[in-house]
Amino acid sequence: MVGGAAHAGAAGDPLITQVQDWASGHGDGVDATPYGLPVKYESDVIRRNVDWLTADTISSINFTPIHALDGTITPQGCAFERHHSGAIDLSKQDYRLMINGLVDQPLVFTYEDLERFPRENHVYFCECAANTGMEWAGAQLNGAQFTHGMIHNMEYTGVPLRTLLQEAGIQAAGKWVYVEGADASSNGRSIPLEKVLDDCLVAFKANGEALRREHGYPVRLVVPGWEGNLWIKWLRRIEVMDGPVEAKEETSKYTDLLGDGTARKWTWEMDAKSVITSPSPQSPIRHGTGPLVITGLAWSGRGAITQVDVSVDGGANWVAARLAGHQHDKALTRFYLDTDWDGREMLLQARARDATGYVQPTKNALREVRGMNSVYHNNGIQTWLVTPNGEAENVEVS
Amino acid sequence: MVGGAAHAGAAGDPLITQVQDWASGHGDGVDATPYGLPVKYESDVIRRNVDWLTADTISSINFTPIHALDGTITPQGCAFERHHSGAIDLSKQDYRLMINGLVDQPLVFTYEDLERFPRENHVYFCECAANTGMEWAGAQLNGAQFTHGMIHNMEYTGVPLRTLLQEAGIQAAGKWVYVEGADASSNGRSIPLEKVLDDCLVAFKANGEALRREHGYPVRLVVPGWEGNLWIKWLRRIEVMDGPVEAKEETSKYTDLLGDGTARKWTWEMDAKSVITSPSPQSPIRHGTGPLVITGLAWSGRGAITQVDVSVDGGANWVAARLAGHQHDKALTRFYLDTDWDGREMLLQARARDATGYVQPTKNALREVRGMNSVYHNNGIQTWLVTPNGEAENVEVS
């Protein structure tokens, strides 16, 4: 008996003993679905927002339903997106990308121009710096979608930004780039040249197809392992500069106010983190005691995930989870703990370790260093209380 | 100059010199798209069928628009599907999977039962045995979507079938399984136990989310590297047997009639194959001479792709293409040849090599061995004629 999972007998089950409609007639043809949508039974597997989080939907966030997904790829249709002045309508024909500043030759690229450069393909996670940010002050939101759903993981196809900058010719004084989008917010950010030359992509496909409008169609910037606010959508302009701009999105926003009133800045790299997606508040245990699959996601902006530990007693004891699938650098890793549940209360936690040896800290360890004023970069260990009836809720452990 | 791609100047381009509507107002909020659909500009990136291929849409095929995709993952929405009696409507609540025959204990699993067993995640291609089948008699269909689009590549999450069979207890006489679906066709097929115990999955997620209805929601069989007809949708029953059933789908169909009137059978494993997706008849060159990215897909049912060669002169000379991304076993591999086009006619071909050392043959080499009567298992080298105006068409080279 592998796993020892429950099973039902056939006797008396009309689904087994009687011929069903779907086996005696025929189903619909599917010619009417040239682009197939999710089945009606999955209508709850959708992005959701938190209406009090931003003042207006023009600047808002829609969270991935990570509690209902499995594997590692996030489908575009339900993949997290953040916008600062709505999602604009920009055709490939109207698309232009300018490279200017400290370059030998300022350049403007059409969409078609971009398609003529050598492309790469990589699976990367994109996480908002504010993901889990509401948890600094304690357990706030009841569901993995809301606490950890500002993240997605897709296979991006694009041209290395390095290639385009080399085409323009970077001058010796150039040390940073300033990147901005074509939307009214422009969402301008500064990025050190070293990162840009390393692995940033000017991407035009995600999971094989064109970007969704809300993900920046037709072109977005991919900044692997770094906070999502840098992943400029509707990418319009890249200026090579000798220093950072200190723009709104990197001063009043996306910095970390510490307990002593000073602020951390340039905290781009996303620290190793994990969350149990099931069981969780939106994905309770419905099948009672016995075999139980505990599963979740882990990721690090510094490289691959090498280990995930799971605790069922609030961190007193830990067991290594099984990592299932490929552990790509700067991409989501799926983990499982195949266990038996005796029906007793659990305090479920996961703890990620990455290739640098970094281990995900507790929320309290983070608070000791960073205080309680921060909004961003909360990668503390999350706790779900699972009660004997199988329901789960977001709690803090001391 | 990397690649030396063309670029436009900014002067006189109103898209650069004038403020556009999308940068002065704001875009729509996206709260109305809890499940985001492709942008309106991509309305041609859809599945298509060939209306003369089957007598009725109740048994039909919808092809992946591989000419318009990039990377390796196929989004579910436009992923190839084949159905034999329509796409049935089956909820998780009504789902049952029976294991019977030569087992110690016949079992019936609910969907919830399946979720309690240890899961795996793998990226695999699924190719119909009839993919490229219309080409046996010469160039027939003008587009990679139609010649090679009976394929998709997704990350599957599921339970190894081995686990469920071990739960039932396989008796010593058991050497094969017979698998069938819940639809009226049932599409029953026989599979040797050795393959089943190796890597077959009872899958309930693809690319992270539930299967689309047309892909077998809620559960389908995944038979890595083997012909798509074995990947039973709406998986209903698995019977352990001492031999194969020789059912309709493995005698009158899915066998290969040879030139001498005999037929090959049990030709499950998909041989190494490749196709150039762009340029191709549905994806002509629009940008004139100069830098050109030639790209395509390669795959093998026997393991990873180790090399893809590209020819621009109908096979007289070959250049190794660049493999971009991860080369997973039994999964699509993306290749690129970054080149310059002088505007002359090209006879474009790609040739795949897999980890076993097998090299994709020419169509004529296949015909010499298998004759012209076959429908299935045509993995011959495909040729696109690219004319000086950039258009491409499906041709044969002698």
- For residue B10 the two structure tokens come to 């900014």
In a domain, residue B24? The reply is: no
- List phi, psi (to 5°) of A189: -140, 150
Query: Residues B217, B253: one domain?
Result: yes
Q: The domain spanning residue A109 has which CATH number?
A: 3.90.420.10
Average of pLDDT values for B268-284? 98
Q: How confident is the model at residue A16 (pLDDT cuts 50, 70, 90)?
A: confident
Q: Is A135 on the interface with B (CB under 8 A)?
A: no
Rounded to two decimals, what is the model's pTM? 0.96
Total domain count for chain B? 2
Residue A9 has pLDDT above 70, yes or no: no
In a domain, residue B62? The reply is: no
Contact B108 A45 (CB under 8 A): no
Q: Is A284 on the interface with B (CB under 8 A)?
A: no
Handedness of CA A343, A344, A345, A351 (dihedral sign): negative
Residues of B in contact with A44 (CB under 8 A): none
Contact B77 A107 (CB under 8 A): no
Share of chain A above pLDDT 70, in %: 96
Average of pLDDT values for B35-61? 90
- For residue B310 the two structure tokens come to 């590209």
Q: Is A74 on the interface with B (CB under 8 A)?
A: yes
Which residue on chain A is closest to B84 by alpha carbon? Answer: A26
In a domain, residue B49? The reply is: no
Query: Residues B212, B93: one domain?
Result: yes
Query: Residues A258, A290: one domain?
Result: no
**Reduced to 3 DSSP states, what percent helix, strand and coil does chain B have, rounded to the nearest 5?**
15, 35, 50
Which residue on chain A is closest to B49 by alpha carbon? Answer: A31
Among A19, A26, A93, the residue to mutate for chain B (most B Cβ within 10 A): A26
Domain boundary among B233, B264, B295: B264
Angstrom distance (rounded) from CA A44 to CA A65: 9
Q: How confident is the model at residue A11 (pLDDT cuts 50, 70, 90)?
A: low
Indicate the range of A27-31, A329-333, B159-163 predicted with least confidence: A27-31
Query: Residues B255, B353: one domain?
Result: no
Q: How confident is the model at residue B162 (pLDDT cuts 50, 70, 90)?
A: very high
Q: How confident is the model at residue B7 (pLDDT cuts 50, 70, 90)?
A: low
Q: Is B47 on the interface with A (CB under 8 A)?
A: yes
Residues of B in contact with A205 (CB under 8 A): 69-71
The Cα-based distances of A83 to A90, A231, A256 in angstroms read: 15, 11, 21
Contact B75 A27 (CB under 8 A): no
Query: Residues B222, B293: one domain?
Result: no
Chain A and chain B share a number of CB contacts under 8 A equal to 387
Confirm if A289 and A342 have CB atoms less than 8 A apart.
Answer: yes
Q: Is A147 on the interface with B (CB under 8 A)?
A: no
Query: Residues A180, A292: one domain?
Result: no
Query: Residues B341, B196: one domain?
Result: no
Query: Residues A191, A332: one domain?
Result: no
Domain that holds residue A356: 273-395
Give the contacts of B252 (CB within 8 A, at least 6 positions apart). none
- Residue A262: in which H helix or E strand, if any? none
Q: Is B330 on the interface with A (CB under 8 A)?
A: no
Residue B395: closest CA among B52, B15, B135:
B135
Residues of B in contact with A87 (CB under 8 A): 27-30
Residues of A in contact with B304 (CB under 8 A): none
Q: How confident is the model at residue B28 (pLDDT cuts 50, 70, 90)?
A: confident
Q: The domain spanning residue B367 has which CATH number?
A: 2.60.40.650
Contact B116 A83 (CB under 8 A): no
Q: Is A44 on the interface with B (CB under 8 A)?
A: no
Domain boundary among B244, B264, B284: B264
Q: Is A265 on the interface with B (CB under 8 A)?
A: no
The Cα-based distances of A138 to A313, A363, A367, A377, B71 in angstroms read: 19, 9, 11, 15, 41
Q: How confident is the model at residue A31 (pLDDT cuts 50, 70, 90)?
A: low
Handedness of CA A221, A223, A227, A230 (dihedral sign): negative
Average of pLDDT values for A27-33? 68
Give residue-wise pLDDT tens across range A272-324: 999 999 999 999 999 999 999 999 999 999 999 999 999 999 999 999 999 99
DSSP string, A59-83: SEEEB--GGG--SSPPPGGG--EEE
In a domain, residue B64? The reply is: no
Give the pLDDT score at A148.
98
The residue ranking higher by pLDDT, B58 or B257, is B257
Angstrom distance (rounded) from CA B379 to CA B129: 10
Q: What is the distance in angstroms between the Cα of A230 and the nearest Cα belonging to chain B? A: 18
Indicate the range of B43-57, B225-239, B314-328 predicted with least confidence: B43-57
Query: Residues B219, B301: one domain?
Result: no
Query: Residues A178, A95: one domain?
Result: yes
Give the pLDDT score at A7.
55
Give the pLDDT score at A22.
81
Give the pLDDT score at B3.
42
Q: What is the distance in angstroms between the Cα of B71 and the nearest Cα belonging to chain A? A: 5
In a domain, residue B72? The reply is: no
The strand pairing partners of B154, in sequence order, are: B124
Q: What is the distance in angstroms between the Cα of B188 and the nearest Cα belonging to chain A? A: 13
The interface pTM score, or ipTM, of the predicted complex is 0.96
Residues 100-119 of A with CB under 8 A from B: 106-110, 112-113, 115-119
Of A29, A119, A155, the CB nearest to B58: A29
Query: Residues B341, B378: one domain?
Result: yes
Residue A8 has pLDDT above 70, yes or no: no
Residue B395 has pLDDT above 60, yes or no: yes
In a domain, residue B227? The reply is: yes
Average of pLDDT values for A199-207? 98
Give the pLDDT score at A154.
98
Number of H helices, E strands in chain A: 7, 23
Give the pLDDT score at B11.
65
Residue A230 has pLDDT above 60, yes or no: yes
Give the pLDDT score at B10.
62
Give residue-wise pLDDT tens across range B180-213: 999 999 999 999 999 999 999 999 999 999 999 9
Query: Residues B220, B248: one domain?
Result: yes
In a domain, residue B338? The reply is: yes
Q: Is B29 on the interface with A (CB under 8 A)?
A: yes
Of A1, A118, A215, the CB nearest to B336: A118
Among B114, B119, B289, the residue to mutate for chain A (most A Cβ within 10 A): B119
Domain boundary among A203, A234, A262: A262
Contact A34 B46 (CB under 8 A): yes
